[in-house]
Amino acid sequence: MPSTGTSPEASHAAPLVVVANRLPVEYVGNAGEGEWRRAPGGLVSALEPALAGRPATWIGWSGHTSDSTEPALPEAIDDLRIVAVPLSGEQVEQFYEGFSNGALWPLYHDVVVTPAYHRPEFVAYREVNAVFAAKVAELAPEGGTVWVHDYQLQLVPRMLRDARPDLTIGFFLHIPFPPVELFAQLPWRRQLLEGLLGADLVGFQTHDSARNFLGATRRLLGLDPGGDRVDVPDQDGQRTVRVGAFPIGIGAAAFDTMARAPQIQARARQIREEMGGFRLLFLGVDRLDYTKGIDVRLRAFSEALAEGLLDPSEVTMLQVAIPSRETVEEYRNIRDEIELLVGRINGDLGRVGDPAIHYLHQSVSREELVAMYVAADVLLVTPLRDGMNLVAKEYIASRVQETGAVVLSEFTGAAEQLQEAFIVNPYDIEGLKRTLAAVVASTPEELARRLQSLRTNVFEDDVDRWVRTFLATLEGHVP
């Protein structure tokens, strides 16, 4: 049963349905013998404050195919009702690994690898979107609010509106929306635009993405968008779809609290000692994805060492590459490329017991991650394109001692907000090397000034504000 909520607001707020590719759960333990738990972090933590006191349902895929042997999901986790959309192994391959990650992901990230457009995969994408939409249509209460997330589900808003015109539908895209010159490649561009325009509000991470989307509705659908809206023809004449930038934030206070905990501080000291004591520690943390520019920063760092721009007795580097999408060929290729590079750099520049780059290809616990943030003097965030980049914000929130520096690609959504970071063009290796040297040469006062300003930004525009602003705009009241 849906949670009914007990706070005073509960009676005013319409029931909320969240729709995302993944449910906020994970299966812990051996197949058949483990249990389902709430997945740590992620969207569910973000939405938690907004869901409190409001009847809410989350609809998504469990991460396990319908032919697997795991026990059934619980009906609710805490106060949140969860409903699984079953997907077969073949659907996951075609819809998720294929169309979502092989076509949309590279296309929306500036074609940094070539997208593969396969017709049967789009058919699977449409089918799976229809399954999601049908499940929402079946379960959403009359007059409720539905918030659909991300690139895997862009057809859902239109399908849902057709089935349930009583609903208020919001859509948020977590990744960039590309310029129309790139988007126009997509054989199914019209279907995707029309799919998104089924929503009442379409939200993006940045103003650039919002503009790109509105531009695409003009160029490819012949509509006449205004600054933050576009009118679309409808059965009853015309509907207005609002469009805007809603940059996602993090639970900054939670990172701050964790970073202050004595055991995290102790672990951070230990990491520093194990990595060479007094040297400045450069850190990279990313899903191992070709969009993240991991290779770029490794090259810049190693060239700067080789050329004497950085002194190996003064600096060292840790790169954590979290395993990701390993069934997709491009991801296996980028892993090979990065690991070859790390091997070469350490072969050329390392010494016994002292590699130039410490490299981990594994997931780490949230505690370990925060200890790394606390330990590192400089965070390197160099994506070729990134919707937002939460790692940059998490590092800033964890710098409770108000020291540290962020080198940040101008092609991240975060760069629109975090202007006091050291902004770089990741395609310009020479410029990146110069920036690394400039960070090392900066005075503590200069670094502290920048970091304080970054912290103000990350704490003010936190995830709570993101959720409240999006929902308030969707539901037509000012936060």
Q: How far is the CB of 373 from ligand GDG (least distance, A)?
A: 9
Site map 351..390 versus ligand GDG, x via CB under 6 A: ------------xxxx--x----------------xxxxx
Q: Which is nearer to ligand GDG, 257 or 442 (CB)?
A: 257
Residue 205 Cβ vs ligand GDG, minimum distance, rounded to whole Å: 7
Q: Which is nearer to ligand GDG, 301 or 395 (CB)?
A: 395
Q: Tell me, what DSSP letter sits at residue 287?
A: E
Question: Do 150 and 175 contact (CB within 8 A), yes or no?
Answer: yes
Quote the CA–CA distance of 157 and 148 in Å, as a whole number.
7
Query: Considering beta carbons, is residue 309 or 322 the nearer one to ligand GDG?
Result: 322
3-state SS of the chain: helix, strand, coil percent to 5?
A: 45, 20, 35
245 part of the interface to ligand GDG, by CB under 6 A: no
Q: How far is the CB of 173 from ligand GDG (least distance, A)?
A: 9
Residue selected from 2, 10, 41, 425 as contacting ligand GDG according to rule CB under 6 A: 41
Nearer to ligand GDG, 80 or 390 (CB): 390
- Between CA 314 and CA 437 the distance in angstroms is 11
Q: State the nearest-atom distance from the C-beta of 379 to ligand GDG, in Å.
A: 11
* Binding of ligand GDG by 48 (CB under 6 A): no
Measured from the CB atom, the residue of 159 and 392 that comes closer to ligand GDG is 392
Q: Phi, psi at residue 350, to the nearest 5°?
A: -80, 170
In angstroms, give the least distance from the CB of 26 to ligand GDG: 12
* 3-state DSSP assignment of residue 443: coil
- Nearest approach in angstroms of CB 77 to ligand GDG is 18
Contact between 104 and ligand GDG by CB under 6 A: the answer reads: no
CA 176/CA 386 separation, integer angstroms: 7
Single residue of 39, 160, 175, 210 touching ligand GDG by CB under 6 A: 175
Q: At what angle do helices 189-196 and 207-221 cross, to 10 degrees?
A: 120
Q: Does 209 bind ligand GDG (CB under 6 A)?
A: no
Round to whole Å and give the CA distance between 479 and 169: 18
Secondary structure of residue 94 in the 3-state scheme = helix
What phi and psi values does residue 390 have, to the nearest 5 degrees? -80, -25
Residue 452 neighbours by CB distance under 10 Å: 13
Sign of CA dihedral 436, 441, 443, 446: negative
Rank residues 42 and 343 by Cβ distance to ligand GDG and give the closer one.
Answer: 42
> Measured from the CB atom, is 160 or 258 closer to ligand GDG?
258
Does position 256 interact with ligand GDG (CB under 6 A)? The reply is no
Q: Which residues, 266 to 305, sit near ligand GDG by CB under 6 A? A: 287
Contact status: 394 vs ligand GDG (CB under 6 A): yes
Q: Supply the minimum distance, in Å, between the C-beta of residue 414 and ligand GDG.
A: 8
Give least dist CB 406 to ligand GDG, A. Answer: 13
The Cα–Cα gap between 256 and 258 comes to: 6
Measured distance CA(265)–CA(199) in Å, rounded? 45
User: How many residues bind ligand GDG, per CB under 6 A?
Assistant: 18
The Cα–Cα gap between 285 and 369 comes to: 9
Q: Minimum Å distance from CB 90 to ligand GDG? A: 25
Q: How far is CA 240 from CA 52, 196, 477, in A?
A: 30, 13, 16
Distances in Å between the Cα of 192 and the Cα atoms of 156, 187, 298 are: 10, 10, 37
- Which residues make up the interface to ligand GDG (CB under 6 A)? 41, 174-175, 248, 287, 322, 363-366, 369, 386-391, 394
